[in-house]
Every structure is written in structure tokens, then in C-alpha cells.
Amino acid sequence: MISAAQQVQGMFIATGFSGHGFGIGPGAGKLMADMVANDKPLVDPQAFRLSRFSDGTKIELDGGF
């Protein structure tokens, strides 16, 4: 999850990487920094948003499964 916490203004969350954080940490950190600074992110952070757990969005697996 890499997201603003909609319920708390100015709070951002980057968590849940498990062991993969060592590999994707630099990219996740850059994405989070862009979000906090309100800069245009390199990738669309929509898929990583906190609200995906409660907004009814259908979970779709990428074709590799």
C-alpha cells in the first residue's frame, strides 16, 4: 500500500512490502516522495491506494496467473 490516508489530512502510508521491500524500496520511496510533494508521479499510484480495500473495486489478476 502506497497511499494518502484520506481520513487524516497530510498522512501518507507506505507499508506491506514484506521481504520485497529491499528490492522495490527505492521505487516505492520515490513514488511516496512524489505523492507527499504533490509532484507528478512516474507511475499511476491508483492501484496501491488504501481505499481499494473498502471501495468495492474488483480485484483483477494480471494475465500471468
Per-residue DSSP letter, 60: -
Distances (CA, A) of 6 to 10, 26, 61: 9, 24, 26
Identify the pLDDT of residue 63. Answer: 63
Tell me: pLDDT of 64 over 60: no
Domain boundaries, the chain: 2-53
What is the Cα–Cα distance from 29 to 27, expressed in whole angstroms? 5
Identify the pLDDT of residue 30. Answer: 94
Q: 2-50: per-residue pLDDT in tens? A: 999 888 999 999 988 887 777 888 999 999 999 999 999 989 998 888 8
16 grid coordinates: 506491506
